[in-house]
Amino acid sequence: MSDLAIEVRNVNKVFRIYPDLVRSRIKQHILVWKKYYQEKTALRNINLKVNKGEVVGVIGPNAAGKTTLLKIIARISFPTSGEIVCPGRVVAVLALGLGFHPRLTGSENIELAGMMLGMSKAEVRARKEWIVDFSELDEYIDRPLTSYSMGMRARLSFAVAACQNPEILIIDEALATGDIRFVQKCIHRIHEIVDGGATALFVSHNIWSIKKLTHRCILLNEGEVIDDGDTGEVTDRYYEVMLRNDVLKKSQTTYDLSDFVGTGEVQLKKIQMVGQKGDPCELVHSGDPVKFVLDIAAERDHTNVGFSLQCWRTDGVSAFSTSMAGGVLDNNSNFCENTFDLPQGLSTLVVEFLPLLLAPGDFYLNLHIFDMSEHGGYTTDQQFYFKTRIMAFRVRRAKNPNIAMVYYQPARIYLA
């Protein structure tokens, strides 16, 4: 008896992109010798083998072909060419909330979604109590779905899928929504299903979840398998791919620096991040020396001007602030305040980090300029200039992503 649970043989998937929904499709159907569409290749020559009982992670950048591959394996979509051998019963959680109707209650949606996943009405009703208990939505279960938050829908959707014991479990970003306690609960349930002998394919951009669940990982990029092996090694290469894509596809986001709060007596006119090679950039590596160069314009001479550059991660976590509340550490690890005497006209302020110890992540800067002797708050007349998101930048570090951390703390470790 074969140990293979899934075999993908030379699979290609090409989508037809029509310029409109109806007209070009009708023309294509009638005038078959002409071409009224563009082709988009989602998968190229994919060959994979997954053994029974394996838990395999599938990772890659956006539009790498991950969801397309899983849909083909789950028989929701079909390949343009190639073959899929997948004889076992498949349960696929490809989109939380798929199969739900907003006007039905949670209880009614359990039956609807369960039958869409291949369960009979009797099977759904037999497991309904388990589903409600797992989702922890007892008091809301008879309310319409329109009253549910995204997290509540995530709980209900995963609970419906997790009540089954499939031979092959396919999960696509099912843990992207929900609090950390519920995510841990889902991971525990996935382990129970797998320990029962099921095979699992797990797609996520959350590398922590991938490492927690899998020992083997497949890396897709631009529709091709570029790595397949030990999860630790493949996830390291994933960050290298993401870093390369970041370099090749720089953000074009710009911000209107004239849209600020304050009197405007002192204003920011331009800001650039300068990397270790001395060139303007928007992506650096952790540990690189970095400068932020700010062009500041003053209407007249000012003394005792305070500057606070505040750095936030895009998920809302505060990373650091060169604020008046304690100031900033200098290169000798002493606290100093950021106050300057500004002449009338344009001045250049340089904020230097030698090195920048931020862990990998996406960040943005806020700027606050004020009179140190008179400042008492963030109202318009108590500051010269205050603006959020004066610029965005990215920090990466291949081989050691640590995306859950904000910064690297220097330390000396020794045996006493």
Residue 276 domain flag:
yes
Q: Which of 356-365, 387-396, 401-410 bottoms out in mean pLDDT, i.e. has the lowest?
A: 401-410
Residue where a domain terminates, one of 248, 282, 315: 248
Indicate if the pLDDT at residue 406 is higher than 90: no
- Dihedrals φ, ψ of 332, to 5°? -100, 15
Q: What is the pLDDT of residue 17?
A: 87
**pLDDT tens track for 54-104:** 889 999 888 888 989 988 998 888 999 999 998 878 877 766 556 688 888
Residues contacting 136, CB < 8 A, separation 6+: 155
Same-domain status, 208 and 343: no
Backbone angles phi, psi at 258, to 5 degrees: -85, -10
> In the chain, how long is the greatest CA-to-CA distance?
86
Least confident range from 46-60, 229-243, 385-399: namely 229-243
pLDDT of residue 348: 92
Higher-pLDDT residue of 135, 409:
135
The owner of tokens 């959350």 is: 206
- One domain for residues 36 and 162: yes
Task: Let me know: does 237 contact 93? Beta carbons within 8 Å.
Answer: no
Q: In this structure, what token pair is assigned to residue 30? A: 């009638």
Distance CA 182, CA 189 (A): 11
Cis peptide before 401 (omega within 30 of 0): no
Q: What is the CATH number of the domain that holds 330?
A: 2.70.50.60
Spatial neighbors of 212 by CB under 8 A, at least 6 apart, are: 187
Handedness of CA 73, 74, 75, 78 (dihedral sign): negative
Residue range 390-398: mean pLDDT, rounded = 83
Q: Do 244 and 283 touch, CB atoms closer than 8 A?
A: no
- Separation of alpha carbons 119 and 115, rounded Å: 5
Domain count within the chain: 2
Domain CATH for 137? 3.40.50.300
The last residue of one of the domains, among 203, 218, 248, is: 248
Looking at the chain, the whole-number percentage of residues with pLDDT higher than 90 is 16
Q: Is 402 inside a domain boundary?
A: no
Q: For residue 286, what are the domain limits? A: 266-396
Res. 29: pLDDT tops 80: yes
236 and 307 part of one domain? no
**CB count in 10 Å sphere of residue 239:** 19
pLDDT tens, position by position, 357-377 = 888 888 889 888 888 777 655
User: Poorest-confidence range of 79-83, 245-249, 263-267?
Assistant: 245-249
232 shares its domain with 307:
no
- In this structure, what token pair is assigned to residue 392? 């965005």
What pLDDT does residue 177 have? 57
What is each CA distance from 276 to 200, 240, 291, 293, 409, in whole angstroms? 44, 20, 8, 13, 20
Residue 112 has pLDDT above 70, yes or no: yes
Specify the DSSP class assigned to residue 74: T
Residue 133 in domain: yes
Q: Are 199 and 88 in contact (CB under 8 A)?
A: yes
Under the banding of pLDDT at 50, 70 and 90, the label for residue 22 is confident
Q: Are residues 279 and 177 part of one domain?
A: no
Q: Is the pLDDT of residue 408 over 90?
A: no
Amino acid at 20: D
- Same domain for 131 and 95: yes
Which of 144-148, 227-231, 314-318 has the lowest average pLDDT? 314-318
pLDDT tens digits, 194-219:
888 888 888 887 777 788 788 899 99
Q: Name every residue whose Cβ is closer than 8 Å to that of residue 193 and which is 6 or more positions away in sequence.
A: 162, 165, 166, 169, 200
224 and 274 fall within a common domain: no
pLDDT grade for 245, boundaries at 50, 70 and 90: low
Alpha-helical runs (H) found in 166-275: 180-195, 207-213, 231-248
